[in-house]
Amino acid sequence: MLERYLSGVRKNIQPGDKGGNDMQLIIEKNYQEMSKKAAELVASQITFDPASVLGLATGSTPLGMYNELVKIFNKGEIDFSEVITFNLDEYYKISPDNKNSYHYYMMNNFFNKINIKGANINLLDGMTDKPQQECKNYDREIKRAGGIDLQILGIGPNGHIGFNEPGDKLCVETHLVDLTEETIKANSRFFANCKKVPKRAITVGMATILKAEKILLLASGKKKARAVKKAVNGYVDTKIPASFLQTHPHLTMVIDEEAALLLD
């Protein structure tokens, strides 16, 4: 299935590019500017279609964007009442009230601060005893909502998107995944130590991401520069899952100067 995304691959996106595939690379001065720009783009999507289906990421990177969106909401300039969301991933196993769960992150950093309807929020159940069933249900719900209109992504230092980790092959659908040592180490900053980081996660697959109508990828800081370079200037390669984004017809990357350091 992934092969069909490879037709029309366009490599080597340059700053300011807005080529035939409508890919856009926007480089902002710092994290704050990146967050503001990202929030503007998400707000425009919701103004354009108030019933947008958003794919959402967690982690450090989109935190500033969520804060900016809450500010725009508080000014009365944006209405989330018809918006539907699907989060990308969740640790397995982790309970929703654990402060390190993505469930807790989304409720406390975003959903509890805006007027989204509870019924329109879709989060993966990190405690399920039937992960396969949970994955199937999630894919079915995404389809039922008509797919993702705008997918927001961060990028792992190893090039992962969602928790689609580098490997010899990538999974198309939502699945249970073993996290790589690099990801466990990178994410241990939120936990007491590496041992406390769950070793597995449930993540939407590459097809769900690549089938989104539009994708907005955010990256900030020097530690993301290598992954950004490989994703943007390198070959499409399962060992850098983000490189598959080069095949997407409506990709916007909003990154800061440090994350852009290694770009051609």
Position 59 contacts ligand F6R (CB under 6 A)? yes
# chain residues binding ligand F6R, by CB under 6 A: 14
Cβ proximity to ligand F6R: between 79 and 109 the closer is 109
Cβ proximity to ligand F6R: between 14 and 248 the closer is 248
Q: Which stretch binds ligand F6R (CB under 6 A): 39-47, 122-130, 158-166, 250-258?
A: 158-166
The distance between the two most distant Cα atoms of the chain, rounded to a whole number of Å, is: 47
Cβ proximity to ligand F6R: between 61 and 120 the closer is 61
Which of 88, 207, 209, 215 is in the footprint of ligand F6R by CB under 6 A?
A: 88
- Tell me the three state secondary structure of residue 138: helix
Position 60 contacts ligand F6R (CB under 6 A)? yes
Q: Which stretch binds ligand F6R (CB under 6 A): 56-64, 111-119, 231-239, 251-259?
A: 56-64
Nearest to 152 by CA among 238, 49, 40: 40
Interface residues toward ligand F6R, by CB under 6 A:
57-61, 88-89, 102, 154-156, 160-162
